[in-house]
Structure 1
């Protein structure tokens, strides 16, 4: 089993050699949580004409004002999706929709401090559907919050389990494991 895991790891790490070159970007995927991300994506969309999908973003009134009135993008170029509630569901809630739309390459817009976790989760979830992600980091300046390894690898594990099972384990953990951890004094 260990040899198999090592083999899979080496295969994954060597994917740059055998994985086909992605087509040019076909869309901009914005992970909500910061209006600066949406503003950066709006400017990018205005300059390159790509469609934008904002997942879990700001309220619709602000988003419509930003994309349509301030940046002058037509409403058909911007899609707001509010199904996500965290980084993992940013991807799991819409990756199959992207695949059905034949998206193979997206620009991923998120804050600098969030990019490492977003890329890990996105490359697992979107990568499982053949979608390549290119990072576009938005500076967060004094508002940057360093994310810990526990959160990074926890979300990575959730994403991998979602790919395998098609289910997010978070509700199960919150229902069954979290109360036990609280009783044990770990929360």
Structure 2
């Protein structure tokens, strides 16, 4: 009986801690938005060369901003080539190949953004992918005091990603906040 009471108490306590922590995220986002009302960098999610072209063209109207790209490592040379074609100098380009999925696009670069004192970034991804990317960004980057301004690249996908995928990655993002692990190693497609 005592063990059952303790488990119930522990579960309520952990739920309370989670609720308090998650309620801190909107405050951190509000502070970051106030301190940096305009984006300080461009962040592009990889996996699609149309996004790279769009980001390179977008950079031409924001040439004072650095571009951060998170993609699979084997795409980075092609990405660099696309940006060079559009005149983006190498010193403005930060290519990162550590990500294995959308959650790790954010978790692998969060510390780098903090190190560069970035509090507000443009987030560029495909329109069908934006809901999930924004949800993850709100949790992962918001917990670090970074706000995103989304810029959707028009695609020919008919529908947005499923709510199940969005919720799954929100849970993974919350786990990352508390453990520093996103669960990416559980993906059977990763060697």
Q: TM-score, normalised by structure 2?
A: 0.79
What is the total number of aligned residue pairs between the two structures? 172
Larger relative contact order (CA 8 Å, sep ≥ 6): 2
Of 24, 30, 48 in structure 2, the residue corresponding to residue 34 of structure 1 is 48
Q: Is the 8 A contact 1:112 1:144 kept in 2?
A: no
Structure 2 partner of 1:126:
141
Structure 2 residues not aligned, in runs of 5+: 1-11
Superposed counterparts of 1:56-75, under 5 Å: 56=71, 59-68=75-84, 70-75=85-90
Give the superposition deviation at 1:110. 0.3
Structure 2 partner of 1:138:
153
Aligned: 1:76 with 2:86: no
Q: Is the 8 A contact 2:76 2:97 kept in 1?
A: no
Give the superposition deviation at 1:64. 2.4
Q: TM-score, normalised by structure 1?
A: 0.80
Give the superposition deviation at 1:33. 1.1
Q: Secondary structure at the match of 1:21?
A: helix
Q: Is the 8 A contact 2:44 2:52 kept in 1?
A: yes
Q: Secondary structure at the match of 1:84?
A: coil
Superposition CA RMSD, Å: 2.8
Q: Is the 8 A contact 1:88 1:159 kept in 2?
A: yes
- Structure 1 residues 82 and 17 mapped into 2: Cα distance closer, same or farther (>3 Å)? closer
Structure 1 residues not aligned, in runs of 5+: 176-187
Superposed counterparts of 1:134-173, under 5 Å: 134-141=149-156, 143-171=157-185, 173=186
Of 91, 98, 103 in structure 2, the residue corresponding to residue 88 of structure 1 is 103
